[in-house]
């Protein structure tokens, strides 16, 4: 496959056994956007923040879409495989443990992280999904051996998502063996302090440094 490298920022912890927090921005973001969130989660882990390779009217994304809420699933599958290969390669070159990656994705970034949970269900150690949508119409997550922890925060007033489909998505992940903690935040699509406080608490409980 003709994969392209991704722009990234890597901040090592200095500990070869540390977890790596993978930051995946929303539409129009860059590899710098989510870096200010890192401080909420403590210290002692590596940080890897990447920029999506797709452009939509000059705005970076991780995969193409055909319209608002309508994903180009063929491109999503390709870009997920591209990201997966990138992570395996960058783990070798930056010398971190590829089995201890925790994705933190917002919106478009949460959706490609969710796609990875379906296409490569044993790859991520865990994931924080802020404002996700089901990445595929028909693909369901496969049964996994390890109960990888997943944090999901939806906005109960978010006009961009179908709340019923999101509930089924969280249930499907749980049924596949993921350990899902889901929250409904009384807000729209934007992130709030409550999102970050809950995610930080989840991180301290589920991700052992």
pLDDT one-digit tens code per residue, 137-180: 988 888 888 889 999 999 999 999 999 999 999 999 999 999 99
- pLDDT of 69 over the 80 cut: no
Domains of the chain: 8-206 (3.40.50.1820)
Positive or negative CA dihedral for 142, 179, 6, 130? positive
Q: Other CB atoms closer than 10 Å to residue 83's CB: what's the count?
A: 25
Active site residue 107: yes
Catalytic residue among 25, 107, 115, 195: 107
Catalytic residue among 33, 49, 158, 195: 158
- pLDDT of 209 over the 70 cut: no
Catalytic residue among 179, 183, 189, 190: 189
- pLDDT of 117 over the 80 cut: yes
Tokens of 10: 């890597």
Active site residue 99: no
Mean pLDDT of 109-115: 98
Q: What whole-number distance in Å separates Cα of residue 69 and Cα of residue 92?
A: 35
Mean pLDDT of 187-204: 97
Active site residue 189: yes
pLDDT at 98: 97
């Amino acid at each position: 496959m003709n994969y392209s490298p991704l722009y990234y920022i890597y901040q090592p912890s200095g500990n070869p056994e540390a977890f790596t927090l993978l930051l995946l921005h929303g539409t129009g973001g860059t590899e710098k956007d989510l870096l200010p969130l890192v401080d909420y989660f403590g210290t002692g882990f590596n940080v890897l923040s990447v920029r999506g390779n797709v452009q939509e009217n000059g705005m970076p994304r991780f995969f193409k879409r055909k319209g608002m809420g309508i994903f180009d699933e063929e491109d999503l599958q390709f870009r997920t495989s591209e990201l997966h290969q990138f992570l395996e390669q960058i783990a070798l070159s930056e010398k971190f443990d590829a089995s201890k990656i925790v994705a933190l994705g917002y919106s478009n970034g949460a959706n490609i992280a969710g796609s990875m949970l379906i296409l490569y269900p044993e790859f991520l150690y865990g994931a924080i999904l802020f404002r996700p949508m089901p990445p595929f119409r028909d693909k369901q997550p496969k049964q996994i051996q390890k109960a990888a922890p997943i944090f999901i925060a939806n906005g109960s007033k978010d006009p961009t998502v179908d709340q019923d489909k999101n509930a089924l998505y969280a249930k499907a992940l749980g049924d596949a063996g993921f350990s899902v903690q889901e929250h409904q935040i009384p807000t729209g699509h934007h992130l709030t302090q409550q999102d970050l406080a809950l995610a930080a608490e989840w991180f301290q409980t589920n991700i052992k440094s």
